[in-house]
Every structure is written in C-alpha cells, then in structure tokens.
Amino acid sequence: MLVWVNGAFGSGKSTLVDELRRRWPEALVYDPEMVGYVLREIVEVPTGDFQDLRLWRRQVGDLAVGLVEEYRRPVLVPMTLVNPQYAGEIFGVLEVAGVTVHHFFLQVSREILEKRIDGRSFTPHDPEQDERVRRWCKDRIGPCTAAVDVLPDNTVFLDGELPPRELAGQVLTHIGAAPGR
C-alpha cells in the first residue's frame, strides 16, 4: 500500500507524513524529491522543475513499486504532484504493479501557504537562493490550487489547516490502518 500526500508547497505534506510515521512505525517514508536531487546532479533540468524529466517520473514510479514489493510495508510519500499527465504516468505504473494507492490532497488557503513558505529557510547559508526558492514555491500556489479539478477521482481532500495529529487520524481511519500511539 502507498499513501501519497499531495498539496501545494507549505501545505504540510512532510509534517503530516512525519505524524503518520510516528503513529504507524512500520511504514517507510519515500520522498521523490530525493530522486530529483540525484537527477539534477547528473543531467540538466531545462525547465528548472525535475518533474518535467520523463526519467524522474519513471524512477519515482519504479522505486515506489520496488519499495512496496521488496519490503512489504506501507509507503508514505509526501510530494506535490499536480500535473495530471505526470500523475497519470506515476499512478499508472503503481496500478499496473497492483499497488494500492491512497491519494490525499491538503487544501490550504493562499494566505496560510504564503505565511508558511515565508517562515521556512531552505538554504540558510545562501539568503539569495533562499528567496529564489520561496518565490518559486509561491509561484506554484496558483497551479496547485487549480489542480483540485484535475486530480485523480479517488483523491481524498483534507483541510490542511487542521492540526497534523487530527489529519493523521483522518488518513489512518480512511485507509483502515489501526491508529498507533
């Protein structure tokens, strides 16, 4: 089983996955962003967004399948994925492999997202880069918010402004996992 936690930058995906992991210790955490970081070291990313690399999408799907098949444990994935074609490619690989995917999307107001993004430090040693990353994240709020109309039909929408503990309880209840501590 794979639990994909989706939403805009600053919506609380990683925070929710951390809470889920605390309450569901057998689950693995897989962040596809790491695949992007590796690819960025090897090849040029012309658009600046590694999700635009077909190889990133292939690797994300294949690695997720491998983790589920090899370790036979639930996998938690915190990742913004709002391009319907890209989501179709990745989720299609999972479906063909017979992996059950529970897809959640955290809905958060633009104002809160901007506050959360402003409150984060991405590259503390490089304030100019930090500001570029913040701007990049904020520029994607609109497309992420608009994506709610094109996400997979089985997407479960959650109020991302609720406390992580409450959200984790909702996720665990929805997927039928016994809530942990």
pLDDT tens, 71-94?
999 999 999 999 999 999 999 999
Of the candidates 103, 91, 83, the one whose C-alpha atom is nearest the C-alpha of residue 147 is: 83
Structure tokens at 136: 């990049």
Nearest to 136 by CA among 42, 10, 5: 10
- Percent of the chain beyond pLDDT 90? 86
| pTM of the full structure | 0.93
Query: Which pLDDT band, with edges at 50, 70 and 90, does 17 fall under?
Result: very high
Confidence label for 178 from pLDDT (cuts 50, 70 and 90): low
What is d(CA 84, CA 168) in angstroms, rounded to the nearest whole number?
25
**Residue 165 vs residue 147, higher pLDDT:** 165
* Beta carbons of 102 and 20 less than 8 angstroms apart: no
Mean pLDDT of the chain: 94
Q: What is the per-residue pLDDT across 42-70, written as a single tens digit (0 to 9) for each?
A: 999 999 899 999 999 999 999 999 999 99
**141-158 residue pLDDT tens:** 999 999 888 999 999 999
d(CA 133, CA 143) in angstroms, rounded, equals: 16
Contacts of 76 (CB under 8 A, 6+ apart): 2, 3, 5, 17, 20, 21, 24, 27, 28, 29, 30
Alpha helices by DSSP H, listed for the chain, are 13-23, 33-42, 54-71, 84-96, 110-118, 127-139, 141-146, 164-175
For the chain, domains (ranges, CATH) are: 2-172 (3.40.50.300)
Closest Cα to residue 145, out of 10, 4, 2?
10
